[in-house]
Each structure stands twice: as C-alpha cells, then as structure tokens.
Amino acid sequence: MTNTFMPTQGPLVTADDVHKSFSVGKRKVEILHGVSFQVRESEMVAVMGPSGSGKSTLLYCVAGLESVTSGRTTMLGRDVTQLSKADLAKLRRREVGFVFQSYNLIPTLTATQNVELPYRLRREQPPADLVREALQKVGLGERLGARPPSMSGGEQQRVALARVLAQRPQIIFADEPTGALDTRTGDVVLEELTTIAHSPGQCVLVVTHDPKVAAACDRVLFMRDGLLVHELARPSVTEVASSLAELSGSDA
Ligand SMILES: Nc1ncnc2c1ncn2[C@@H]1O[C@H](COP(=O)(O)OP(=O)(O)OP(=O)(O)O)[C@@H](O)[C@H]1O
C-alpha cells in the first residue's frame, strides 16, 4: 500500500450508504440508517438537524474517528473502511484538520506547541511565523503560552482553528466551530473557514446549529432521525431557519 496521498479528481469526502449502530447495554441502537453524500473540492458543506439526529456521529464516521457498521466512506479517494489504523492515522495527520471544541489538544502543551504538534508528529520543523500568525488571526496573540486547562472552551476551539490555519489540510471537519464564540470572533472563524474551503484542493464539512454558518456554505444537508432528508444550495439565513423549523416540527 502506498503512503503518498495523490490529488484526487473526484470528491474529497464521500459517504455511501453509511449505517452506524451503538451498543447500549445488550441492545444495538442504529443511529445512522444509510447516509450518502459527497463533498467536492472548494466546497463548504453544512450538516444541520435537530439535536440527536446523528450529525456528530456522521461527522465522526466520515472522519474515520468512528468505524461504520456498514457502508463506505472515502477521503481523497481512499476507502477509509479499508485503511489500516496506521495508514488512516497518516492520512489524517497529513491531510485532515479538526476544529472540535476539545478534540486532540494536549493539556500539557501550550497553545503554540499544540499548533506546532502536527509538524512535530511528521518530524518537520514548525514554521514559527506561520504558527504565530495563525494564533494571532484567531485572537490568541496574547495567549501563546497558555495551556488548554486554563483556557475557555471558545479559546480551545480557536487553538484548534489556528492549527488548521497553520496546516492548511485538504479536508477540514468542524463541529460547532462558532458555538462557544462571541459574535465577532465567530465571524472571524467563519470567514477563515470559508476562505480555506474555497481554495483549490480543499474543502470543509461543518456540523452546526447556527443558520448564519449554514448560510455561508455552498450546500446544507439536513438530517432527521439518522437520515439526510433535505438539501439546500447557497441558502439564505431565513431559508435555513425555516427548513430547520419544519424539520423540528415547530415554528421556532
Ligand atoms: N457512543 C455512543 N453510544 C451510544 N449512543 C450514542 C453514542 N454516541 C451518540 N449516541 C446517540 O446517538 C444519537 C445521535 O447523537 P449525535 O451526537 O450524533 O447527535 P447530534 O445530531 O450531533 O446531536 P446534537 O445536536 O445534540 O449534538 C443520540 O441519541 C446519542 O445519544
């Protein structure tokens, strides 16, 4: 098996009839009931839906952080369900970035060291200017030496974003990237993600409850009860909000 990840002509991320069950006591509970979609190059795609509809589970499955029960997922044309653990780790380390609230931040490392980490794992010298610039961009210029336990959820989220900005991975997965942020910082984060997504060879898949984030995306996929049930292309905030209200069966 080759260890180099060649540019792919097709979609950067795919899910094909993905099912996911969890064991709860002696019972198996199916959370995803056959989900299929694609994210292409230069696309930013949002997944929305009521709480508990399976959005995060879907994100974890396509990112290869959870195994699927059946079906297939691919990243950069590689079948994730067939990759060895080592090859999956290598693919993620090189080409995939995560903007999750606390995912993968090492508590004993400073913000700067956390942003440098992917470089060090690849035995590369971290570019100091790029790392500092990324942390400044997300408003953490004064917190370079802070460690995650002394940071708020929003600050940790921004360290994860800075890591992505300093890396420019081809695929970015984001879970509620603006959830813990004030409006101004949330706008900065959204702008950065949109810029990356629309760059050649890159894409972003984001799970969000925020209609403003969804309205910044090229497509919005709506989930209910573990299925994709609706899709909008380049919607307005109002269109997103009314689709959500319809799905939730409320006027909210
Ligand atoms: N590891 C697990 N074991 C058992 N059940 C789980 C597990 N992870 C998620 N679930 C269940 O799967 C369902 C979907 O959860 P998920 O977090 O994917 O939903 P979500 O749409 O992201 O929700 P929210 O918007 O509230 O974050 C929920 O009922 C949840 O309790």
> ipTM for the complex?
0.96
d(CA 28, CA 184): 43
What burial letters (b/e) apply to 89-102, b meaning 16+ CB within 10 Å?
ebbbebbbbbbbee
d(CA 68, CA 61): 6
Instruction: Give the residue numbers spanning the domain of 61.
Output: 13-248
Within a domain: 70: yes
Residue 233: strand pairing partners? 219
Q: Taking the alpha carbons of 67, 84, 103, 213 in that order, is the dihedral positive or negative?
A: negative
In terms of Cα–Cα distance, which of 50, 59, 61, 77 is closest to 20? 61
Within a domain: 112: yes
Within a domain: 48: yes
Which residue's CA is the nearest one to ligand 1's atom 28? 52
Residue of 31, 60, 100, 207 to test ligand 1 pocket, by largest number of atoms within 8 Å of CB? 31
Please list the pLDDT of the chain residue by residue as tens digits (252 residues): 333 444 556 899 999 999 999 998 889 999 999 999 999 999 999 999 999 999 999 999 999 999 999 999 999 999 998 999 999 988 888 889 888 765 678 999 999 999 999 899 888 999 999 999 999 988 899 999 999 999 988 888 889 889 988 988 999 999 988 877 788 888 888 998 999 899 899 999 999 999 999 999 999 999 999 999 999 999 999 999 999 988 887 544
Within a domain: 6: no
22 CA distance to ligand 1 middle (Å)? 10
In terms of Cα–Cα distance, which of 120, 117, 99 is closest to 108? 117
54 CA distance to ligand 1 middle (Å)? 6
Q: At 71, which CATH number?
A: 3.40.50.300
Residue of 22, 58, 223 to test ligand 1 pocket, by largest number of atoms within 8 Å of CB? 22
Within a domain: 96: yes
Within a domain: 4: no
d(CA 89, CA 95): 10
Within a domain: 130: yes
Q: For the chain, what is the domain count? A: 1
Is the distance from CB of 145 to CB of 114 less than 8 angstroms?
no
Predicted confidence at residue 3, as pLDDT, reads 38
d(CA 91, CA 69): 21
Q: Report the half-sphere exposure of 112 (CA within 13 A, side-chain side).
A: 13
Residues 6+ apart with CB under 8 A from 247: 49, 50, 222, 224, 229, 230
Within a domain: 22: yes
